[in-house]
């Protein structure tokens, strides 16, 4: 299993621990990651407001860089996953659009032929590696740990753009069980963390963040796990201020997907870089 | 003692919030009068909402597209039974009404940027119907915004119960029930327009909405207005059979799916060969519906009670029910019957379904009924279509006659200067009557009686009728009114959104209209268009060219045969009075 | 296929009940049952007192939306499941049982001014290409069923007074119409267009499969961007500038640009904690090495309508 690794902006900036632990986990599981150097930003939800074409250009460049390596993309960010998929789908369905975009790419010596596939770390663990093999690699079963799976919108919707319905198939719950932890049932699992409202309206985002955290707290979870670093920024970086605004003093640690997996694989706390979080990760007693 | 009710005063009261009622509201509003619209359901609703929105009008862009041809096609389709003076108005004003809609904001399909696309229909000389993309709901929203822009106000979930008249016999408004709260209301108006036509719910299988129980016809009848041609009920050959909830919902004409549709019975025979060998699956609706119905009744229908449609030789992109021309429709078929059926790869089961009442409240060119102060528009009025209607002629009808009704009702309202005191006794009486269902303790639930009526009508007063069946129907309906209706009881004493209570009031209206329809059908001893009698299966132009008139004579149905307005076209074998 | 459907339904009459309750019914199962079939069966055979609304059966009246196992859906569209909980839509006053009063939301939605031309068309038909008509019809597919409202996180937090997806859909329908003269950009800003979280929950429940994120939100934001971004969209420009400058983005840089330096300084305590954890990437950092490539493909000449 070898992939072109596309970390996205957050992993390099606001959540370096996600990038670090992904590499460690991949190494431990025998997944080879070749980082797409200088791959830049996928455009998030902002670039398409300026022009859809810019969004397509940015993502087509990333796809063609992977094509150049002859590898599928593995990403660890939900928005990157959705954007790359949406661009990929559109370019494959509209030959005229692909032609136009390739004209832009040709100015920088690149070209895209529609052959790259895009997966999230979650997909790779689930289908390419398989949960059975993952289970065999578990060194520290997380027995007794109650985990609230927080999918994050862009790995779940729109289903037709993503091609795989992780929520319906309860993929994250299955993975949590594979690590011997217990996935709690709670209403927030596929709801929105509010990350994209942080810039335009922090108060509103704060409200959404508070709701998501409250839902997990009510379900008596020990921690939250999420496959998306943007959700992590919202739920961890802004947790204290969001819960503070609604008068809640309790906190709940938020783990990145690779951190939870890494914990079960026996990777040390130090190497899981929990110290980078703003909310203390105090689950190790459980 | 005055019962507890609210009086709301207006100039023009419009009962019914479909395309006709809303267009009337626009026109009346434009004239500066106060307009109130009553909607029994939530907005948007009604038959126009689910009609698909095709509207006939002649623009002269295509050779042969003349007002004369539109007139001719309509009269021929009506089997010479329409009021030709109304048809003259329809074909004359149709194009301008389309332009009005465009000006209000409706989006019509085009061929070139400055020409509307026009589509063909059964019985058309040339393609003539403009299109709004297969859905008419946007037209209603545009009309609503336009009407409210002129000050009109809509009351939703308010069911009009009866029209009240003053001592001079003029209509001065209507009593109504607010379905949400159960409160009784009196809408006092200087003029009133009935635009709540459809009565499809009289039949077991119908395309119509939940509310289509013929309230308008019943109210008009009770108030003394003349009804005309009530025996003529239009059926469509293809409605959904399942799921049960969807039974009767329009699947379309036999030609909706494409040029190469094959209609088969359970034995796999193309049965149209027996009924209309020259036109086959391209026959008009009355012929196709009858053929399907007879196949089913004679035991050659599917186990679910339908006929089979084979669309495999049709082109999906061109299908009027396909993802290109009507994606909303396509999705309904896909969700309910599966992708293979929607993509025309699998067979489709369908049943004939009750669609539209060709008769109605008699109007003149100003949409005036026979009762002063009362107007009618849309499906509620007649007699535009005679014995059979062309596709696309009913939505344009709402615009042409809705406009006229609004215009003339506003004029009339402006002329009513004496203030009207509340007719308290009448209102009290209506109040008591409307609440009588709450007194019942045991007997029948309204839904049971509704279903009984629907069975009687489907089996005996439906697509194929005969004297014996009609007499039995009249007797059975009478029995329901005399013996069963008085024992109606409700499961809940709450007046809040009590749909059983609504149904109890609907049952009363349904029996009235059902009886009228049955009696008119019995009187017409011939077959013409949508009215078919197995005991009188030929068209009789010597004796049949009349409008059947219904009048309320002290509580009994009085029928008569009235001469037709045949201003321009007369059939060759017409009798001396034709 | 199971023999019976078990359905638990929300019951509440505000005039006579202190609190809501749930009542369970068993309905014989048939192939191809819609939720509407289940309710009609109950009405006819089990309990005539249950209040529920439907009208057209063709997804055009928008009046039959309820929550089915927590997810909003039309009873004329959704298949019945062997075990179901049926509840009324949230955020609205309950009339009785499953029937809600939509008036307050519909009034807001219909308050959006319709197509308003500068003057009456010179001639009719108005010259409009058919492809344009098809595009204009897209937002008008909305029947105000309010399913999107039920799942919108922005509505949940801000309330429908401040954020209402179907209202934005109405605005979009006219914003994309060249004949219209109303300031739809202003309307969008007043309707808090940029508070949309881009979570796609709305389009997943839309019975008419309207691509709300692209055809409504992004389309309106495009227009706003063209006209000069207001309060809500300043961060878009900051994002674009950051990409052109650095090739990647980080929250701190955008924060500085979009909210102004004063507000950023007020967040200093947070900033210090982030620095300590290696999460504060300086807005004055270096661009990625291939920045010229990025600038080439997202420069102003690449923008197209």
Which residue in the block uniquely carries the two structure tokens 């070209």? A111
Alpha-carbon distance of C6 to B42, in angstroms, equals: 29
Interchain CB distance below 8 Å, C156 and A208: yes
CA B277 to chain centre: 30
Residue B420: φ, ψ to 5°: -110, 120
Interchain CB distance below 8 Å, C251 and A191: no
Interchain CB distance below 8 Å, C59 and B210: no
Q: Which of A9, A54, A208 sits opposite C248 (nearest CB)?
A: A9
Average confidence score pLDDT of chain A: 95
Q: Which residues of chain B have pLDDT under 70?
A: 1, 572-578
Give CATH 3.90.700.10 domain extents, chain B: 237-354
Interchain CB distance below 8 Å, A108 and C70: no
Is-contact A222 A146, C-beta < 8 A? yes
pLDDT for res C300:
85
The C-alpha of C151 sits at a distance from chain A's nearest C-alpha, in angstroms, of 9
DSSP label at C288? P
Q: Which of A126, A213, A216, A203 is nearest to A164 (CA)?
A: A126
Contacting residues for A226 by C-beta, under 8 A, at least 6 apart: A149, A150, A151, A152, A232, A235, A254, A255, A256, A257
Q: Which long-range contacts (CB under 8 A, 24 or more apart) does C271-278 make?
A: C273/A278, C274/A237, C274/A278, C277/A275, C277/A276, C277/A277, C277/A278, C278/A16, C278/A276
Which residue in the block uniquely carries the two structure tokens 């327009």? B193
pLDDT for res C247:
85
Interchain CB distance below 8 Å, C198 and A53: no
CATH number of C4-101: 3.10.20.30
Chain A residues inside the 8 Å CB shell of C298: 47, 54, 57-58
Q: Which of C154, C239, C278 sits opposite A46 (nearest CB)?
A: C239
The C-alpha of C234 sits at a distance from chain B's nearest C-alpha, in angstroms, of 34
Interchain CB distance below 8 Å, A157 and C200: yes
Alpha-carbon distance of B372 to B365, in angstroms, equals: 14
Interchain CB distance below 8 Å, C279 and A40: no
Alpha-carbon distance of C23 to B276, in angstroms, equals: 54
pLDDT for res B578:
41
Q: Which of B50, B137, B490 to mutate to test the interface with C (most CBs of C within 10 A)?
A: B137
Determine what percent of chain A is predicted with pLDDT higher than 70: 99
* C40 CB within 8 Å of a chain B CB: yes
Interchain CB distance below 8 Å, A50 and C303: yes
Interchain CB distance below 8 Å, B105 and C77: no
Interchain CB distance below 8 Å, B45 and C63: yes
Which residue in the block uniquely carries the two structure tokens 């519906």? B289
Give CATH 3.50.50.60 domain extents, chain B: 6-232+358-415
Chain C residues inside the 8 Å CB shell of A46: 235-236, 239-240
pLDDT for res B577:
47
Global pTM reads 0.95
Q: Which of B237, B179, B181, B26 is nearest to B502 (CA)?
A: B179
**Structure tokens belonging to residue C64:** 């039959």
Chain B residues inside the 8 Å CB shell of C34: 243-246, 336
Q: Which residue of C has its CA nearest to B135?
A: C60
DSSP label at B252? E
Contacting residues for B459 by C-beta, under 8 A, at least 6 apart: B469
Domain spanning B433-538, CATH class: mainly alpha
Q: Can the peptide bond before residue C125 be classed as cis, meaning omega within 30 degrees of 0?
A: yes
Chain C residues inside the 8 Å CB shell of A13: 248-252, 279, 281
Task: Examine the pLDDT at C305 and tell me if it is beyond 60.
Answer: no
Residues 55-94 on C with a CB inside 8 Å of B are 55-63, 75-77
Looking at CATH, the fold of the domain delimited by B6-232+358-415 is given as: FAD/NAD(P)-binding domain (3.50.50)
Alpha-helical (H) ranges within C181-279 are 184-190, 201-205, 212, 219-227, 234-246, 251-259, 261-266, 268-276
Length of chain B, please? 578
Give CATH 3.10.20.30 domain extents, chain C: 4-101
Interchain CB distance below 8 Å, C293 and A108: yes
pLDDT for res C1:
75
pLDDT for res B400:
98
Q: What are the E-state strand segments in chain C? A: 4-11, 21-28, 65-68, 71-74, 83-87, 94-96, 99-100
Residue C252: band (very low, low, confident or very high) from pLDDT cuts 50, 70, 90? low
CATH number of B237-354: 3.90.700.10
* C258 CB within 8 Å of a chain A CB: yes
ipTM of the prediction: 0.96
Task: Examine the pLDDT at C277 and tell me if it is beyond 80.
Answer: no
Residue B308: φ, ψ to 5°: -115, 135
**The listed CATH number (3.40.50.300, 1.10.1060.10, 3.90.1170.50, 3.40.50.2300) that belongs to domain C104-226:** 1.10.1060.10
Is-contact B348 B308, C-beta < 8 A? yes
Task: Examine the pLDDT at A246 and tell me if it is beyond 50.
Answer: yes
Chain C residues inside the 8 Å CB shell of A44: 239, 249
Q: Which of C269, C270, C235 is nearest to C253 (CA)?
A: C235
pLDDT for res C251:
67
Q: Which of C48, C63, C77 sits opposite B42 (nearest CB)?
A: C63
More confident residue, C272 or C167: C167
Task: Examine the pLDDT at A107 and tell me if it is beyond 50.
Answer: yes
Q: What are the E-state strand segments in B245-378? A: 250-252, 262-264, 307-310, 348-357, 360-362, 374-376
Average confidence score pLDDT of chain C: 91
Q: Which of B194, B278, B271, B210 is nearest to B237 (CA)?
A: B271
Interchain CB distance below 8 Å, C63 and B180: no
Give CATH 1.10.1060.10 domain extents, chain C: 104-226
Task: Examine the pLDDT at C231 and tell me if it is beyond 80.
Answer: no
Chain A residues inside the 8 Å CB shell of C255: 199
Give CATH 1.20.58.100 domain extents, chain B: 433-538
């Amino acid at each position: 299993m070898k992939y072109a690794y596309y970390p996205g902006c957050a992993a390099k900036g606001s959540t370096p621990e996600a990038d670090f632990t992904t590499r460690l986990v991949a190494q431990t599981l025998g997944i080879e990651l070749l980082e797409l150097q200088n791959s830049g930003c996928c455009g998030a939800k902002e670039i398409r407001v300026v022009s859809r074409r810019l969004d397509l250009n940015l993502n087509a460049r990333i796809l063609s860089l992977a094509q150049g390596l002859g590898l599928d993309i593995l990403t660890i960010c939900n928005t990157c996953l959705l954007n790359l998929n949406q661009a990929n789908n559109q370019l494959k369905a509209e030959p005229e659009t692909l032609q136009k975009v390739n004209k832009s790419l040709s100015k920088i010596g690149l070209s895209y032929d529609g052959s790259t596939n895009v997966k999230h770390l979650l997909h790779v663990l689930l289908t390419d590696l398989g949960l059975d093999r993952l289970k065999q690699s578990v060194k520290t079963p997380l027995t007794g740990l109650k985990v609230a799976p927080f999918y994050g919108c862009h790995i779940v919707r729109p289903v037709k753009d993503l091609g795989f319905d992780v929520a319906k198939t309860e993929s994250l719950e299955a993975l949590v069980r594979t690590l011997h932890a217990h996935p709690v049932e709670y209403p927030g699992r596929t709801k929105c963390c509010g990350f994209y409202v942080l810039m335009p309206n922090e108060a509103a985002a704060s409200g959404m963040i508070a709701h998501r955290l409250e839902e997990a707290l009510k379900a008596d979870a020990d921690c939250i796990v999420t496959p998306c670093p943007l959700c992590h920024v919202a739920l961890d970086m802004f947790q204290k201020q969001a819960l503070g605004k609604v008068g809640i003093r309790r906190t709940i640690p938020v783990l990145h997907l690779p951190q939870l997996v890494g914990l079960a694989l026996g990777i040390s706390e130090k190497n899981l870089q929990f110290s980078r979080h703003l909310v203390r990760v105090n689950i190790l007693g459980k | 003692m005055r019962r507890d009710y609210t009086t709301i005063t207006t100039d023009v009261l419009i009962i019914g919030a479909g395309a006709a009622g809303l267009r009337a509201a626009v026109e009346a509003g434009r004239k500066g009068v106060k307009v109130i619209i009553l909607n029994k359901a939530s907005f948007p609703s009604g038959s126009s909402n689910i009609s698909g929105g095709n509207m006939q009008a002649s623009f002269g862009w295509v050779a042969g597209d003349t007002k004369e041809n539109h007139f001719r096609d309509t009269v021929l389709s009506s089997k010479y039974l329409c009021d030709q003076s109304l048809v003259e108005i329809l074909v004359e004003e149709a194009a301008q009404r389309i332009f009005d809609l465009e000006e209000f904001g409706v989006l019509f399909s085009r061929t070139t940027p400055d020409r509307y696309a026009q589509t063909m229909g059964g019985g058309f000389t040339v393609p003539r119907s403009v299109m709004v993309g297969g859905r008419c709901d946007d037209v209603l929203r545009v009309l609503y915004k336009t009407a409210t822009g002129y000050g009109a106000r809509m009351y939703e979930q308010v069911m009009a119960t009866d029209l009240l008249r003053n001592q001079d016999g003029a209509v001065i408004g209507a009593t109504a029930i607010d379905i949400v709260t159960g409160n009784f209301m009196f809408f006092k108006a200087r003029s009133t327009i009935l635009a709540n036509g459809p009565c499809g719910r009289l039949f077991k299988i119908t395309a119509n909405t939940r509310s289509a129980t013929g309230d308008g016809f019943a109210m008009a009848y009770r108030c003394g207005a003349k009804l005309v041609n009530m025996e003529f009920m239009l059926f469509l050959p293809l409605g959904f059979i399942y799921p049960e909830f969807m039974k009767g919902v329009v699947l379309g004409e036999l030609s909706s799916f494409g040029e190469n549709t094959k209609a088969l019975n359970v034995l796999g025979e193309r049965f149209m060969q027996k009924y209309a060998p020259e036109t086959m699956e391209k026959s008009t609706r009355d012929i196709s519906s009858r053929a399907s119905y007879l196949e089913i009744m004679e035991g050659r229908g599917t186990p679910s009670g339908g006929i089979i449609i084979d669309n495999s030789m049709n082109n999906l992109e061109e299908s009027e029910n396909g993802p290109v021309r009507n994606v909303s429709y396509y999705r309904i078929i896909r969700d309910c019957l599966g992708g293979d059926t929607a993509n025309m790869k699998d067979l489709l089961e369908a049943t004939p379904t009750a669609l539209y009442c060709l008769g109605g409240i008699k109007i003149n060119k100003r949409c005036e009924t026979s009762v002063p102060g009362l107007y009618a528009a849309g499906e509620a009025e007649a007699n535009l279509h005679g014995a059979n209607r062309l596709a696309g002629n009913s939505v344009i009808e709402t615009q042409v006659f809705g406009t006229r009704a609004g215009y003339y009702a506003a004029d009339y309202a402006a002329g009513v200067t004496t203030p009207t005191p509340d007719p308290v006794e009448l209102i009290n009486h209506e109040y008591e009557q409307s609440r009588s269902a709450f007194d019942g303790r045991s007997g029948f639930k309204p839904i049971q009686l509704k279903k009984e009526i629907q069975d009687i009508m489907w089996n005996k007063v439906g697509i194929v009728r005969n004297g014996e069946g009609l007499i039995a129907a009249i007797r059975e309906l009478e029995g329901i009114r005399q013996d069963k209706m008085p024992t109606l009881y409700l499961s809940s004493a709450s007046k809040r959104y009590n749909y059983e209570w609504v149904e109890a009031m609907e049952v009363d209206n349904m029996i009235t209209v059902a009886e009228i329809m049955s009696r008119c059908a019995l009187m017409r001893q011939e077959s013409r268009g949508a009215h078919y009698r197995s005991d009188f299966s030929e068209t009789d132009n010597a004796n049949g060219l009349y409008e059947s008139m219904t009048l309320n004579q002290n509580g009994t149905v009085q029928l008569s045969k009235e001469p037709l307005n045949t201003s321009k076209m007369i059939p060759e074998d017409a009798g001396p009075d034709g | 296929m199971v023999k019976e459907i078990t359905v638990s339904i929300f019951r509440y009459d505000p005039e006579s009940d202190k609190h809501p309750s749930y009542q369970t019914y068993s309905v014989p199962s048939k192939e191809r049952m819609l939720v509407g079939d289940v309710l009609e069966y109950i009405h006819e055979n089990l309990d005539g007192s249950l209040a529920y609304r439907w009208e057209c059966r063709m997804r055009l009246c928008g009046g039959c939306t309820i929550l089915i196992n927590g997810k909003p859906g039309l009873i004329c569209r959704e298949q019945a499941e062997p075990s179901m909980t049926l509840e009324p839509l949230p955020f609205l006053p309950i009339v009785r049982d499953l029937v809600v009063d939509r008036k307050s939301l519909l009034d807001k939605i219909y308050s959006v001014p319709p197509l308003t031309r500068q003057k009456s068309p010179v001639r009719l038909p108005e010259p409009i290409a058919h492809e344009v008509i098809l595009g204009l019809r897209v937002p008008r597919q909305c029947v105000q069923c309010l399913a999107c409202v039920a799942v919108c996180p922005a509505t949940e937090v801000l309330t429908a007074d401040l954020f209402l997806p179907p209202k934005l859909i109405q605005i979009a329908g006219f914003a994309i119409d060249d004949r219209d003269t109303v300031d739809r950009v202003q309307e969008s800003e007043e309707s808090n267009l940029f508070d949309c979280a881009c979570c796609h929950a709305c389009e997943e429940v839309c019975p008419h499969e309207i691509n709300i994120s692209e055809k409504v939100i992004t389309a309106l934001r495009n227009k706003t961007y063209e006209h000069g971004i207001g309060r809500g969209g300043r961060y878009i420009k900051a994002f674009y500038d950051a990409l052109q400058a650095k090739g990647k983005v980080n929250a701190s840089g955008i924060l500085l640009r979009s909210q102004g330096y004063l507000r950023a300084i007020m967040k200093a305590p947070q900033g210090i904690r982030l620095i300590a954890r290696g999460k504060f990437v300086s807005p004055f950092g270096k661009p990625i090495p291939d920045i010229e490539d990025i600038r080439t493909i997202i420069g102003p000449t690449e923008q197209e309508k």
